[in-house]
């Protein structure tokens, strides 16, 4: 999942970026409202963390303008303002949730997961495809009851593929959602990560889930008997 953090406090921005990266998210950072809006209009983010009091352009204006441009990416507002009127105004401008500073990182991560769940085809917190089960909260993966150890980037790749199960995803789509702007993607890096993931989730098992769609990309799909099940 790719997240944009728009926060002018460099220390807080750096802390958020590091914490989210540690959780396996790909993160881009902006330090003023105009830069943040430019980022949000150029890239299909999965979620935006947006401070209200920003230089160059206020966060509420950024939120309103993104909605006017039909950009429906979930937005979590951050602010030191905690009155009811402030919260109502933020939500009326198009924000999806509101977090008052100072906040605990655990709460921010929980709110982030809740917002992402609203956009995805699952509600119980776990992703399942046949006997392949992923829990984004505990960062665990298993298949046929056997635990599978993944690196953070492998976990992020599998999570993206499971969110888009039965769909063909291109290399460009994977690059945009799994890596940030600072990463210089080599021509074969995505193929390398897909091969590593396939060795872990498919190679030890008789039924294969991850297939290559020649010339296009990849598809994670349920095994044949799962598709025929009533």
CATH number, domain with residue 112: 3.40.50.2300
Q: Are residues 53 and 90 in the same domain?
A: yes
The single residue listed with the structure tokens 């297939």 is 211
Q: Please state the φ and ψ torsions of residue 98, each to the nearest 5 degrees.
A: -145, 130
Close Cβ partners of 14 (under 8 Å, ≥ 6 residues apart): 29
Last residue of a domain, one of 99, 119, 139: 119
E-assigned strands of the chain?
2-6, 26-30, 47-51, 75-79, 97-100, 127-129, 132-135, 140-143, 146-147, 168-170, 210-213, 217-220
Band of the pLDDT at 230, cuts 50, 70, 90?
very low
pLDDT at residue number 229: 42
Residue 160 vs residues 15, 48, 136: alpha-carbon distances, Å: 24, 17, 11
Distance of alpha carbon 34 from alpha carbon 57, whole angstroms: 6
pLDDT at residue number 225: 58
**Top-confidence residue, 226 or 69:** 69
pLDDT at residue number 117: 76
Express each pLDDT in 177-203 by its tens digit.
777 666 655 568 888 889 999 999 999
Q: Are residues 138 and 187 in the same domain?
A: yes
pLDDT reading at 88 higher than 90: no
Look up residue 215 and give its DSSP letter. T
pLDDT at residue number 119: 64
Express each pLDDT in 120-167 by its tens digit.
555 456 788 888 999 877 889 999 999 999 988 899 899 889 888 888
Report the domain count for the chain: 2
pLDDT reading at 105 higher than 70: yes
Distance of alpha carbon 174 from alpha carbon 30, whole angstroms: 22
Quote the domain boundaries for residue 81.
2-119
pLDDT reading at 227 higher than 60: no
**Top-confidence residue, 98 or 225:** 98
For 139, the 3-state DSSP assignment is coil
Last residue of a domain, one of 66, 96, 119: 119
pLDDT at residue number 38: 94
User: Do 52 and 90 touch, CB atoms closer than 8 A?
Assistant: yes
pTM more than 0.85: no
Neighbours of 32 (CB within 10 A): 17
């Amino acid at each position: 999942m790719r997240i944009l953090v728009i926060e002018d406090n460099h220390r807080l921005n750096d802390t958020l970026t590091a914490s989210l990266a540690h959780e396996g998210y790909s993160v881009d950072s902006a330090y003023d409202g105009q830069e943040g809006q430019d980022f949000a209009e150029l890239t299909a983010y999965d979620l935006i963390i947006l401070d209200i009091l920003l230089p160059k352009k206020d966060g509420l204006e950024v939120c309103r303008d993104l909605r006017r441009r039909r950009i429906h990416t979930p937005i979590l507002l951050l602010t030191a303002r905690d009155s009811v009127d402030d919260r109502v105004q933020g939500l009326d401008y198009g924000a999806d949730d509101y977090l008052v500073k100072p906040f605990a990182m655990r709460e921010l991560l929980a709110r982030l997961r809740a917002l992402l769940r609203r956009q995805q085809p699952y509600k119980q917190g776990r992703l399942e495809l046949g006997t392949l089960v992923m829990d984004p909260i505990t960062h665990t993966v298993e298949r046929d009851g056997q635990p599978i150890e993944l690196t953070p980037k492998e976990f992020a790749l599998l999570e993206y593929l499971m969110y888009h199960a039965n769909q063909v995803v291109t290399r460009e789509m994977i690059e945009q959602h799994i890596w940030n702007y600072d990463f210089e993607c080599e021509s074969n890096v995505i193929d390398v990560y897909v091969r590593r993931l396939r060795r872990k989730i498919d190679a030890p098992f008789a039924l294969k889930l991850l297939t290559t769609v020649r010339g296009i990309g990849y598809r994670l799909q349920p095994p044949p008997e799962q598709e025929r099940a009533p």
